[in-house]
Amino acid sequence: MSKNTVSAPANIAFVKYWGATDIERALPLNSSISMTLDECVTLCTAELIDGAPHRDEIWLAEPDGRLAPAPPEFSHRVLAHIERLRKWAGREEGVRIATRNTFPAAAGLASSASGFAALTLAVTRTFGLSPSPGELSLLARRSGSGSACRSVFGGYVEWRAGEGAEEDNHALPLASADHWDLRDVIAVVEIGPKTVSSLDGHRRAPTSPYYDRRRELLGGRLDRVRSAIRHRDLAALGPVLEEEAIDLHLIAMSSQPSIFYWSPGTLEVLRTVRELRQEGLEAWATMDAGANVHVICDPDSEEGVAERLTGLASVGFVIRDGVGNGPEAESQALF
Ligand code: DP6
pTM of the model: 0.97
Nearest-atom index, ligand 1, CA of 199: 2
Distance 31 CA to ligand 1 centre (A): 12
Q: What is the pLDDT of residue 163?
A: 75
Exposure string (b/e) for 145-177, b if CB count within 10 Å is 16 or more?
Answer: bbbbbbbbbbbbbbbbbeeeeeeebbbebbbeb
More confident residue, 73 or 18: 18
Q: What is the pLDDT of residue 192?
A: 77
Query: For residue range 22-31, what is the model confidence (pLDDT) as tens digits?
Result: 999 999 999 9
| Atom 4 of ligand 1, residue of closest alpha carbon | 288
Query: For residue range 246-281, what is the model confidence (pLDDT) as tens digits?
Result: 999 999 999 999 999 999 999 999 999 999 999 999
Where does ligand 1 bind, in terms of residues with CB under 6 Å?
A: 13, 16-18, 32, 110, 112-113, 145-147, 198-199, 288-289
Q: What is the pLDDT of residue 122?
A: 98
CB 35 within 8 A of CB 11: yes
CB 77 within 8 A of CB 199: no
pLDDT at 283 over 60: yes
Q: What is the mean pLDDT of the chain?
A: 95
According to DSSP, the residues that pair with 68 across neighbouring strands are 60
Residues in the chain: 335
Query: For residue range 83-141, what is the model confidence (pLDDT) as tens digits?
Result: 999 999 999 999 999 999 998 765 556 679 999 999 999 999 999 999 999 999 999 99
